[in-house]
Amino acid sequence: MSQQLILVLNCGSSSVKGAVLDNHNGEVLLSCLAEKINLPDAVITFKADGGKRSVSLADDPTHTGAVAALMAELKDRGLDGRIGAVGHRVVHGGERFKASCLIDDEVIAGIEACIMLAPLHNPAHLLGIRAAQSIFNQVPHVAVFDTAFHQSMPEHAYTYAVPRALYRDYGLRRYGAHGTSYRFVAAEAARQLGRSEQGLRLVIAHLGNGASIAAVRDGRSCDTSMGLTPLEGLVMGTRSGDIDPSVFLFLNENAGMDMAAVTDLLNKKSGLLGISELSNDCRTLEQEAAKGHEGAKLALEIFAYRLAKYVAGMSVAAGGLDALVFTGGIGENSDQIRAKVIGYLGFMGLTVDEEANLAARFGQGGIISQSGSAPLAMVVPTNEELMIAQDTAQLAGIAV
C-alpha cells in the first residue's frame, strides 16, 4: 500500500461525494456521500471495510461542513496525515482546459469563466474546491475536467450549423461529457486486447442515467454524442436526447409551456421515464417489460435502436471499428440492452455470445462477441475515481 493517498472529491449543488484511494492499485480505503447540503437535515455517510455510518451535518450543513466532517473521519482513522493531494472532478472546462491541471488562482478564474456553459455544476465545484482548500491546505489540489478529453475533436465534429458569430461570441459548440470515463476505458480496452492505443478504433458507449457515446481513435476523442449540454445525443434516463429544436415553439403555442418548462421537461421528465410512463431505471423497465408492460418494452427498444444508430455513425468518426465497448451502470450490467444493440448491428459483423454476455455483469468485463467474429464487442467497467486519482498523483509529484 502506498504511504500517500489521494482524496477524490465530486461536489454537486446539494451533495459531496468523496473517496480516498491508493492510486497504485485503485483500492478505496474510505468513501463518503454528503446529501441535502444547505438543508437542516444534511447528513454525510461514510463507508469503509464493509461497514457504513452516518453523521449529521446540522451544525454546518454547507460544503465546508461536509469536507470538515470528512477530515474528522480521516483523523479518527489515522489517515489524515497520509493525504498527499486532492483531485476534484469538474464537469466543464470549455476550450480553456485540454488536460487536468494543478489548481491555482488562474485555474479558479478559468472555471468561473465556464459557469455559463455549466451553470448548475461549475458553481458547486468551485464551492467544493474552496472548502477543500481551506481544510486540506497543505497539499496540492488538481482539477480533472469531464470535457478535456473531447478537446481533440476536429472542428467539423464540434461545430454546430449556426452562424459562426455565436461560437466566437458565446462559445456555442459541442463539448461532450464523460471524458474521464472514456479516457480510462479506452486505455483499459487496449490493455485487455493486448494492443497499443495507436491505430485502435473504438466506439465506446457510456450508458447510465446520463448516457453518451464516443468515437476514439489512437486514444483520442474524434466525436461524441453530447453537445453544448448533456441533453444532446442518446435517449437517457430522464433526458430526451436528440429532438427537433422546434419543440420549444410547438409546446409554447400548443401547451402554453415557457422555455424553462420545456427545458425542465426535456431534462427531467423525458427519456426512458417519459416513454415508459413508469421509471427511468433500466432494471425496473427490464423487469416490467418481461411482464408485458408495453411502455417499458417500447422505452427499451427506442433506447437500443437510437444507440445502435449512433454506433454506426461513430464508426465513421473513428475511421472504422475494431471494438464496440460498453461501460457505465447500464452498459456494464444490462446484458439485454447490449444484446439488443448488437442485434441491430449484425450488418456490421457484430455478434454476441450469449454466455459471455450474461457473465459480463456486476463488475465483470471481457469480450462478449462470438469467437472469430469482427469487430469485437466487449464490456469494460469504468473507474473515473482511479483516473482522477492517477492524474492528481502525477501532477502532484506523487509516484504513480
Q: Which amino acid is at 51?
A: G
Cβ atoms 80, 74 nearer than 8 A? yes
Q: Where do we find the cell 496540492?
A: 140
Q: How many helices (H) and strands (E) does the chain have?
A: 15, 14
Q: Is 330 annotated to bind ligand?
A: yes
Q: Is 253 annotated to bind ligand?
A: no
Q: Is 174 annotated to bind ligand?
A: no
Q: Is 209 annotated to bind ligand?
A: yes
> How many CB atoms are located within 10 Å of the residue 296 CB?
24
Q: Is 84 annotated to bind ligand?
A: no
Q: Is 232 annotated to bind ligand?
A: no
CA 64 to chain centre: 25
All three cell numbers of 10, joined, read 465530486
* Eight-state DSSP code of residue 335: H
Q: Is 206 annotated to bind ligand?
A: yes
Closest CA to 287 of 302, 276, 303: 276
Q: Is 241 annotated to bind ligand?
A: no
Q: Is 283 annotated to bind ligand?
A: yes
Beta bridge partners of 216: 202, 221
Q: Is 254 annotated to bind ligand?
A: no
Q: Is 89 annotated to bind ligand?
A: yes
Q: Is 10 annotated to bind ligand?
A: yes
Does 22 qualify as catalytic in the annotation? no
Q: Is 384 annotated to bind ligand?
A: yes
3-state secondary structure 140-173: CEEEEECCHHHHHCCHHHHCCCCCHHHHHHHCCC
Cβ atoms 332, 326 nearer than 8 A? yes
Q: Write out the DSSP string of 358-400.
A: HHS-TT--EE-SPTT-SSEEEE----HHHHHHHHHHHHHT---
Q: Which of 22, 41, 59, 146 is catalytic?
A: 146
Q: Which residues fall within 8 angstroms of residue 301, CB to CB, at 6 or more apart?
A: 340
Distance CA 77, CA 82 (A): 11
Write down how long the chain is: 400
Q: Is 328 annotated to bind ligand?
A: no
Tell me the pairing of strands 28-35 and 51-56.
unpaired
Q: Which amino acid is at 105?
A: D
Q: Is 332 annotated to bind ligand?
A: yes
Closest CA to 225 of 243, 241, 248: 241
Closest CA to 175 of 253, 114, 129, 131: 114
Q: Is 397 annotated to bind ligand?
A: no
Q: Active-site positions?
A: 146
Q: Which residues belong to the annotated binding site for ATP? A: 17, 206-210, 281-283, 329-333
Binding site: which residues? Answer: 10, 17, 89, 206-210, 281-283, 329-333, 384
Residues in binding site for Mg(2+): 10, 384
